[in-house]
Amino acid sequence: MNDPPLVSALIPLHDCERFVGEAIESVLAQTHAPLECVVVDDGSSDRGPEIVAGFGQRVTLLRQPRLGAAAARNAAARAAGGELLAFLDADDLWEPEKIERQVALFGPRPDLCFAYCGLRLIDSDGRELGRSAPPDPSRALRNTLLNEPPFVSLAQTGMVRRDAFWAAGGFDEAMSNAEDSDLAWRLFATRLPAAALPEPLASYRSHPAQKHRDLAAFERNATYLLRKAFASGLLPPAEQALERRAFANLALTLAHEYRRRQDGRRALVHLWRAFRLAPGRFTRRLVPAPRGATSRAS
């Protein structure tokens, strides 16, 4: 019988002293062994690194100047020793059996390259706000490009083989958010075998300090993601044909968010853009603000 694989839990940290201890505790409480936890402090100015250091040798703490969550995740991956890489943001949580359940998917399938699962939505105090099921792998690329539910939330739920992660290019360090969605489309576009567990084995925490609340940054990064994807030459024909719809969905999402923030001028700009891209979809109600298309490494 083969020994169980080492799994590396990778956590980017920036000014998250309130939550990072809980995040690490949820890693150390995993029922799977062997497991290592690597935290990369991305230029924090609060006590977050001190809290991490308090876990002693159970956690590897690395430090870098402020380079962004994508760079911190890549640095953690380079330092990790695991065959399997698992991602968690510093303000989010795992259920104790999360890693064990995902590793069990890889055991009988040496071809399997990555896995993900469902997600619980919680507030600052850990109270459940809802649940989000994952998409079937056959629909995940489409949903990621269109920013339509159900979403893949790699930053909380993903587990990827090390060689597949680096073959896909790792996280794009030009992005300040949505970098997990960018990695997701690249993994799915190369048609690597993937698997999804329906259970919500990770929790996404909603709180005021999240970086995805920066709407200008979301607009910039989401636009960059779509331009890169549709110019990549990697997309299958069915997904390549979704380009106008994808940009229309983004415009509608932005119109909704700018209207909610009482910026009527920008809302109208994006409504007009959506109409020009997809007149038939314009008559439908505005789509809600994106849930899975942004990632936060607080």
Beta bridge partners of 161: 84
Range of the domain at 44: 7-211
- Structure tokens belonging to residue 105: 């998917």
User: Rounded CA gap, 178 and 218, in Å?
Assistant: 7
Same domain, residue pair 41 and 120: yes
User: Rounded CA gap, 236 and 240, in Å?
Assistant: 6
Strands 114-122 and 93-94: unpaired
Beta bridge partners of 93: 203
E strands along 19-72, which residues?
A: 35-42, 59-64
In a domain, 144, yes or no: yes
In a domain, 295, yes or no: no
In a domain, 40, yes or no: yes
Buried-exposed string 178-187: b where 16+ CB fall within 10 A, e elsewhere: bbbbbbbbbb
Average pLDDT of the segment spanning 43-52: 98
In a domain, 155, yes or no: yes
23-32 per-position pLDDT tens digit: 999 999 999 9
- What percent of the chain is modeled with pLDDT above 90? 89
In a domain, 88, yes or no: yes
Same domain, residue pair 11 and 21: yes
Same domain, residue pair 44 and 115: yes
Q: How far is CA 226 from CA 36, 54, 61, 233, 244, in A?
A: 34, 41, 34, 12, 10
Same domain, residue pair 276 and 144: no
Got the DSSP string for 245-271?
A: HHHHHHHHHHHHHHHHTT-HHHHHHHH
Contacts with 296 (C-beta within 8 Å, 6 or more apart), sequence order:
69, 89, 91, 155, 177, 210, 211, 212
Same domain, residue pair 201 and 221: no
Q: How confident is the model at residue 1 (pLDDT cuts 50, 70, 90)?
A: low
Contact indicator for 93, 26 with CB cutoff of 8 Å? yes
User: Rounded CA gap, 290 and 24, in Å?
Assistant: 27
User: Rounded CA gap, 164 and 168, in Å?
Assistant: 6
Note the pLDDT of residue 286.
46
Note the pLDDT of residue 207.
85
Same domain, residue pair 13 and 158: yes
Number of compact structural domains in the chain: 2
53-83 per-position pLDDT tens digit: 999 999 999 999 999 999 999 999 999 999 9
Note the pLDDT of residue 205.
96
Same domain, residue pair 217 and 190: no
Note the pLDDT of residue 250.
96
Q: Is 22 helix (H, G, I), strand (E, B) or coil?
A: helix
Same domain, residue pair 203 and 275: no
In a domain, 64, yes or no: yes
Note the pLDDT of residue 291.
45
User: Rounded CA gap, 25 and 106, in Å?
Assistant: 24
Residue 130 belongs to what H/E stretch?
strand 128-132
The enclosing domain of 13 has a CATH number of 3.90.550.10
Q: Is 285 helix (H, G, I), strand (E, B) or coil?
A: coil
99-134 per-position pLDDT tens digit: 999 999 999 999 999 999 999 999 999 999 999 999
Same domain, residue pair 39 and 175: yes
In a domain, 11, yes or no: yes
pTM for this structure? 0.91
Instruction: Say how far residue 200 (Cα) sits from the centre of its chain.
Output: 15
Same domain, residue pair 144 and 12: yes
**Could you say which of 164, 187, 211 is where a domain stops?**
211
User: Rounded CA gap, 242 and 234, in Å?
Assistant: 13
In a domain, 75, yes or no: yes
Note the pLDDT of residue 255.
95
User: Rounded CA gap, 102 and 30, in Å?
Assistant: 12
- What percent of the chain is modeled with pLDDT above 70? 93
Taking every pair of Cα atoms in the chain, the longest distance, rounded to a whole number of angstroms, is: 64
Note the pLDDT of residue 289.
47
Length of the chain measured in residues: 298
Region of residue 53 (left: phi > 0; alpha: psi -120 to 50; beta: else): alpha
**Could you say which of 157, 185, 211 is where a domain stops?**
211
Nearest residue to 69 (alpha-carbon basis) of 145, 9, 15: 15
Instruction: Supply the mean pLDDT for the chain.
Output: 93
Note the pLDDT of residue 212.
59
Same domain, residue pair 114 and 249: no
208-261 per-position pLDDT tens digit: 776 657 899 999 999 999 999 999 999 999 999 999 999 999 999 999 999 999
